[in-house]
Amino acid sequence: MKVLVVGNGGREHALVWKIRQSPLVTELYCAPGNAGVAEIADCVPIDASSIVEVADFAQTIKADLTVVGPELPMVLGIGDEFVRRDLPIFCPSRGAAEIEGSKAFAREFMSRHNIPSPRYEVCGSLEDALAFVDKAPFGYPYAVKADGLAAGKGTILVERAEEAKAAVDQMMDKKIFGSAGAKIVMEEFLRGEEVSFLAFSDGARVVPMASVQDHKRALDGDQGPNTGGMGTVSPATNLRLDAHKRIMQEIIVPTIAGMAKEGRRFQGVLYAGLMMTEEGPKVLEFNARFGDPEAQAIMARMRSDIVPLLQQGAAGQLGETRIEWAKEPSCCVVLASRGYPESPETGHVVKGLESLKDWGDVVVYHAATKKEGDEVKTVGGRVLGVTALGANLESAIARAYEAVGHISFEGMFYRKDIGHRALSRLQRPR
């Protein structure tokens, strides 16, 4: 069968890498892909957000399945465009992708369906927002969030009234996130440890994936600005079996059911960003897609063929599947360009990739790379995701960092402490 993957990041390289291993797949395309993807699939130079062109291409090659990585094409309605043309796609409709595309919609949806969440207030005008800041009913700190997509930068945690006012001013008056800041959501600050929980859904049934923990801040010790994610470990060792059950029962299953009830049948990957609070898991945010770099750590551990799952999800006929996972944990370390996330440098040559080709337990997923002649060059902030498996978490982490030691590019930086919470948990006496 012919499969098309849409997107150009590390997540898409991980998906292409996994799909490539399926005996069902004869032709594999990626729009637009990157230098790593190009080694294992045919890259077509169509931007992921050009949804009509992507659909035209899928129609021309008669793609049997299309899988979408990033949120923007989802929110722009790529799912609906494909369905209208009767082309199979594993991607939520525009209406279903609202769960990621609008934080106000997502919070109000969670209230309607009793899904564990922080207290929140949606402010639709500058006056409302400033009145909220004056009262600060949740105390400090709290989260100020732009309603719409803001490339992962739309959340500001504020400690004082002046900071809250500045955040409101930036979003609603200066409009730094454009129309995404027309509404904002104020949220109670949740304390605990974060975890990412992803599941395949066909709109009714749900098949959960292995748990994973991301590291959002740019610098060691969870310092510095929020990023798209600097590294992941899977499984998330803070999730015991009872927590897994609660997340499914209290969050994932009611969300899929609630979306169906509201006429927004969710066919795709539901990704819940959760805070494990003292009262149990609560939703920080929902995404309508695979996480990046969550997908890298997850794909490295997935033993089952992913293609039937994607196909069944697209057809609305997910079976009673249980995914088989490698017992070995995985760790993905993101190598980023100086200046990320604000203004990353680009155009530097990446060295050392060849030397890792034969490391069976390590995969280097490309993100912001392109091939120029014989060289691989950086084209954005998150350049590579070096991902390793290990007999236990310590060895997966150690192996990933050992591999990182072989790669270099001008201005390369990465966190040295991916998995630090999981490691300290292991070292703590029981």
Binding site residues, ligand AMP, CB under 6 A = 118, 143, 145, 154-155, 187, 189-190, 194, 216, 226, 273, 284-285
Would you say 197 and 180 are in contact if contact means Cβ atoms under 8 Å apart? no
189 binds, among ligand AMP, ligand GLY, none (CB under 5 to 8 A by kind): ligand AMP
Least CB distance to ligand AMP at residue 99 (A): 12
Count of chain residues binding ligand GLY (CB under 6 A): 7
187 binds, among ligand AMP, ligand GLY, none (CB under 5 to 8 A by kind): ligand AMP
Least CB distance to ligand AMP at residue 391 (A): 30
CA angle, residues 285, 291, 296, in degrees to nearest 5: 155
305-334: which residues touch ligand GLY (CB under 6 A)?
none
Least CB distance to ligand GLY at residue 222 (A): 14
287 binds, among ligand AMP, ligand GLY, none (CB under 5 to 8 A by kind): ligand GLY
Sequence letter at residue 339: G
Nearest residue relative to ligand AMP (C-beta): 155
Query: In angstroms, what CA-CA distances link 409 with 293, 353, 357, 379?
Result: 20, 11, 18, 12
292 binds, among ligand AMP, ligand GLY, none (CB under 5 to 8 A by kind): ligand GLY
Give the single-character DSSP code of 333: E
From 81-89, 291-299, 343-351, 397-405, give the range in contact with ligand GLY by CB under 6 A: 291-299
Those residues with Cβ within 8 angstroms of residue 356's Cβ, 6 or more apart along the chain or in another chain: 362, 364, 386, 403, 406, 407
118 binds, among ligand AMP, ligand GLY, none (CB under 5 to 8 A by kind): ligand AMP
- If you write DSSP's letter for every residue of 110-149 in order, what string do you get? HHHTT-----EEEE-SHHHHHHHHHH-TT-SSEEEEESS-
401 binds, among ligand AMP, ligand GLY, none (CB under 5 to 8 A by kind): none
Least CB distance to ligand AMP at residue 153 (A): 8
Least CB distance to ligand GLY at residue 104 (A): 18
Least CB distance to ligand GLY at residue 146 (A): 15
Least CB distance to ligand GLY at residue 355 (A): 28
Those residues with Cβ within 8 angstroms of residue 61's Cβ, 6 or more apart along the chain or in another chain: 2, 4, 27, 29
- At residue 195, φ and ψ (nearest 5 deg) are -150, 150
Peptide bond into 341 cis (omega under 30): yes
β-sheet bridge partners, residue 364: 386
Distance CA 151, CA 149 (A): 6
From 106-114, 284-292, 341-349, 394-402, give the range in contact with ligand GLY by CB under 6 A: 284-292
Nearer to ligand GLY, 217 or 406 (CB): 217
Nearer to ligand AMP, 101 or 118 (CB): 118
Least CB distance to ligand AMP at residue 190 (A): 4
214 binds ligand GLY (CB under 6 A): yes
Distance CA 280, CA 133 (A): 28
147 binds ligand GLY (CB under 6 A): no
- Dihedral over Cα of 99, 100, 101, 102: its sign: positive
Tally Cβ neighbours within 10 Å of residue 215: 25
100 binds ligand GLY (CB under 6 A): no
Question: Both tokens of residue 91?
Answer: 């991607």
- Pick from 287, 296, 311, 387 the residue near ligand GLY by CB under 6 A: 287
Q: By C-alpha distance, which of 256, 198, 259, 208 is closest to 229?
A: 198
Least CB distance to ligand GLY at residue 220 (A): 18
Nearest residue relative to ligand GLY (C-beta): 229
229 binds, among ligand GLY, ligand AMP, none (CB under 5 to 8 A by kind): ligand GLY
Question: Both tokens of residue 397?
Answer: 């982490």
177-196 burial, b if ≥16 CB within 10 A, otherwise e?
A: beebbbbbbbbbbbebbbbb
- Pick from 70, 229, 281, 329 the residue near ligand GLY by CB under 6 A: 229
Using CB under 6 A, list all residues that contact ligand GLY: 214, 228-229, 287, 291-292, 294
